[in-house]
Chain A
Amino acid sequence: MFPTPLEKRPRSARITYQAFLPFALFLWLLPLLAVAIFSIKPGADFTNANYWGVPSSFEFAHNYGQVFFNSDMPRYLLNSFMITVPTVIGAVALSALAGFALGIYKFKANIWIFFMFVAGNFVPFQILMVPVRDLTLSMGLYDTKLGLVLFHVAFQTGFCTLFMRNFIKALPYELIEAARVEGISEIQIFWHVVLPLMKPALAALAVLIFTFIWNDYFWAVVLTQGPGSQPVTAGITAFNSEFRAMYHLMSAGSLVAALPPVAMFFLMQKHFIAGLTLGAVK
């Protein structure tokens, strides 16, 4: 193990390390902690310039109550869910199929199709912006959740296929050959042999894509407007102009908007990290 494990070093090193750890974490998360503290302060603290002092009262319930019952925030949150969940399902489904095809079959175009997905996945959003906006407008899907979902599914298929294909390629090929000898059709091989083995990859991708889509801002701004269909990342800017200079509410709103992916990460940590670090280890 590198660096040298603390067990093999003097006791003092161990104690210093354990004392320094919380301090380092505190520094690392300082900007976020500040916002968390802001979010439980009363509004009066900001008009009285009591930014960093002890909160003059504890207003957790009031501030978060305002966010949930007195603003468009719940609608934005709901929109975010209604955009994110179908996208996750769609992108994972399409890429499971495509990844299976690219991971199992040997045919000439294989690597080029694979590279098309990989390259497309790296493209800057701006080069797609005008045509995709146009396309969405002409399909009558501008400012709808469906318009956003369809684009997200298509774009995420690039990354997901890369992921799935590499995962499937690492499965033992003998399994498929054995199934073929048994006379099982290709579709059944996908459904009954490969899909059950893909569960970890499916879980990892689902968590990852959930976070990516939840946190998308660019496409939300380009393809939607207003609380009818905008997700929470775009909604928070509207929220902030509504509650301009009311930092306690803006802080609370921001934390609420950030929470679902955070919860997802802590609940599904193992899958999340497996997804992110695919390929980082051989």
Chain B
Amino acid sequence: MTDAALSAARAERGYWQRNQQTLAPWLFLAPGILFFVFYVIYPVFQSFNLSLYEWDGLGAKEYVGMRNYEDLYWEFKDGDAFYTALKNNVLWLFLYLLAIPAGLFIALFLNQTVTGIRLYKSLFFFPFVISQVVVGLVFTWFYDPAFGGLNLLLGWFGMGPINVLGDEKYVTYGVIAAGLWPQTAYCMILYLTGLNGVNPEQIEAGRLDGAKGWRMLWHVVLPQLKPATFIAFVVTIIGALRSFDLISVMTGGGPYGSSRVLAYYMFEVALSEYGFRMGYGAAIAVVLFLIMLCFIAYFLWSMYREEKR
């Protein structure tokens, strides 16, 4: 075909035909982007804006500048609710990470081929599938000072009884332990899948070099499990900072607000009988968001490096 004939044919096919490959992606993306921006991206900015106002959710908004943040600062300084919530969030973050080694440990334990092992693996994974509300209820009863299984066990060893959820000293640890149960199951399944993909030749090579047990795990196996560890890290951090359901079901933030985390405190301030302080709630949410943002930035940066390779 000559050039002239080609361009004539092109013109005939019309605008859509000619620009299909540039237009098509936007066409496919439009509904997703529209929904996502409307319900997720834009509200983030709205919350930032709202945190500069005082608002009860119904009447007029009153601009107060940075006052909500100043109040949070004083609460922090005086060791009030915001301080407790922030401190508990840090506790959650660190203790929740225990799910990763625990999950790895169970995965190593289950990575065998005996009859029925598949069923065992699924049953070990079970806690993750159950809603956190039910996990919360189950553990509330497990901790119950009158009939809970925990005190029964402690009694056998001549200890207790302790009222885990009624004691300011233990309550946050008790709730975190409940959260670790499903989270460990999640990390376990990630590692089980990861272990499936471990290169057997490298293991054999390691064995020939005399590597065994821990040394093998550390130097040969773990490096190959890096993608699984990364995902486990991501989901565990997110899970820790999102902790809300368990606290709401198990303690309602109590006793005396000692088990609050930012996520729960924010909800309490903005949407409960303590009054509808939307602006103040938004300010707490912004603090939580900024903490999360550090991790989001790190995750995205890691993904970006992966993409570039």
What residues make up the interface of A, taking CB atoms closer than 8 Å to B? Answer: 1-3, 5-7, 14, 17-18, 21, 24-25, 28-32, 34-35, 38, 46, 49, 51-52, 94-95, 97-98, 100-102, 104-105, 107, 110-111, 113, 115-120, 122-135, 150-151, 153-155, 157-158, 161, 185-187, 190, 211, 214-215, 217-218, 221-222, 233, 236-237, 240, 247, 250-251, 254-255, 257-258, 261-262, 264-266, 269, 273, 276-277, 279-282
In the complex formed, the residue of B with least CB distance to A160 is B32
B251 to chain A, nearest CB (A): 13
Considering the chains assembled together, what is the distance between the CA atoms of A217 and B120 in angstroms?
29
Q: Which residues of B contact A133 (CB under 8 A)?
A: 271
B38–A154 touching, CB < 8 Å? yes
In the complex formed, the residue of A with least CB distance to B137 is A254
Q: Which residues of B contact A31 (CB under 8 A)?
A: 138-139, 141-142, 149, 181
A276–B41 touching, CB < 8 Å? no
**8 pairs from A and B in contact (CB 8 Å cutoff):** A2-B108, A52-B152, A120-B36, A154-B38, A158-B36, A237-B133, A276-B186, A280-B232
Q: Is B31's CB within 8 Å of the partner chain A?
A: yes
B271–A25 touching, CB < 8 Å? no
B270–A129 touching, CB < 8 Å? yes
Residues 16 to 46 of chain B near chain A (Cβ within 8 Å):
20-22, 24-29, 31-33, 35-36, 38-44, 46
* Also in contact, A126 and B262, with CB within 8 A (given A24-B109, A190-B28): yes
In the complex formed, the residue of B with least CB distance to A151 is B39
B32–A123 touching, CB < 8 Å? no
- Ranked nearest first, the 7 interchain pairs of A and B with the lowest CB-CB distance are A154-B39, A98-B32, A215-B131, A131-B43, A51-B147, A101-B28, A186-B24
Considering the chains assembled together, what is the distance between the CA atoms of A105 and B303 in angstroms?
19
Interface centre among A5, A52, A154 (most CB of B within 10 A): A154
Considering the chains assembled together, what is the distance between the CA atoms of A265 and B130 in angstroms?
10
What residues make up the interface of B, taking CB atoms closer than 8 Å to A? Answer: 20-22, 24-29, 31-33, 35-36, 38-44, 46-47, 50, 57, 108-109, 111-114, 120, 122-127, 129-134, 137-139, 141-142, 146-147, 149, 152, 181, 186, 189-190, 193-198, 200, 203, 216-217, 220-221, 227-228, 231-232, 238, 241-242, 244-245, 248-249, 262-263, 266-267, 270-271, 278, 281-282, 284-286, 288-289, 292, 295-296, 299-300, 303-304, 307
Q: Which residues of B contact A25 (CB under 8 A)?
A: 120, 123-124
B267–A129 touching, CB < 8 Å? yes
B189–A276 touching, CB < 8 Å? yes
12 more A-B contacts (CB under 8 A) besides A29-B126, A157-B35, A215-B133? A34-B138, A38-B141, A100-B28, A102-B25, A120-B41, A122-B299, A135-B43, A186-B21, A215-B132, A218-B267, A280-B190, A281-B228
B249–A124 touching, CB < 8 Å? no
Q: Which residues of A contact B267 (CB under 8 A)?
A: 126, 129, 218, 222
In the complex formed, the residue of B with least CB distance to A231 is B131
Considering the chains assembled together, what is the distance between the CA atoms of A269 and B35 in angstroms?
30
Chain A's interface: helix, strand, loop or mixed, by majority? helix
Q: Which residues of B contact A280 (CB under 8 A)?
A: 190, 193-194, 227-228, 231-232
Q: Which residues of B contact A221 (CB under 8 A)?
A: 248
Q: Which residues of A contact B123 (CB under 8 A)?
A: 25, 28-29
Considering the chains assembled together, what is the distance between the CA atoms of A161 and B262 in angstroms?
29
A124–B203 touching, CB < 8 Å? no
Q: Which residues of B contact A262 (CB under 8 A)?
A: 126, 129-130
A49–B147 touching, CB < 8 Å? yes
In the complex formed, the residue of B with least CB distance to A38 is B141
Interface centre among B22, B141, B282, B304 (most CB of A within 10 A): B141
A246 to chain B, nearest CB (A): 13
B289–A113 touching, CB < 8 Å? no
Q: Which residues of B contact A100 (CB under 8 A)?
A: 28
Q: Which residues of B contact A14 (CB under 8 A)?
A: 114
Total A-B residue contacts, Cβ distance less than 8 Å? 289
Considering the chains assembled together, what is the distance between the CA atoms of A28 and B40 in angstroms?
37
B43–A111 touching, CB < 8 Å? no
Q: Which residues of A contact B249 (CB under 8 A)?
A: 217, 237
Picked from A32, A101, A155, the residue with its CB within 8 Å of the CB of B127 is A32
* Also in contact, A95 and B112, with CB within 8 A (given A127-B285, A187-B24, A240-B137): no
Considering the chains assembled together, what is the distance between the CA atoms of A280 and B103 in angstroms?
14
Considering the chains assembled together, what is the distance between the CA atoms of A28 and B303 in angstroms?
34
A273–B28 touching, CB < 8 Å? no
B131–A217 touching, CB < 8 Å? yes
A222–B28 touching, CB < 8 Å? no
B141–A247 touching, CB < 8 Å? yes
B285–A281 touching, CB < 8 Å? no
B273 to chain A, nearest CB (A): 14
* Also in contact, A150 and B33, with CB within 8 A (given A31-B138, A186-B20): no
* Also in contact, A1 and B203, with CB within 8 A (given A128-B43, A281-B197): yes
Considering the chains assembled together, what is the distance between the CA atoms of A32 and B186 in angstroms?
17
In the complex formed, the residue of B with least CB distance to A211 is B129
Considering the chains assembled together, what is the distance between the CA atoms of A176 and B130 in angstroms?
41
Q: Which residues of A contact B131 (CB under 8 A)?
A: 214-215, 217, 233, 257-258, 261
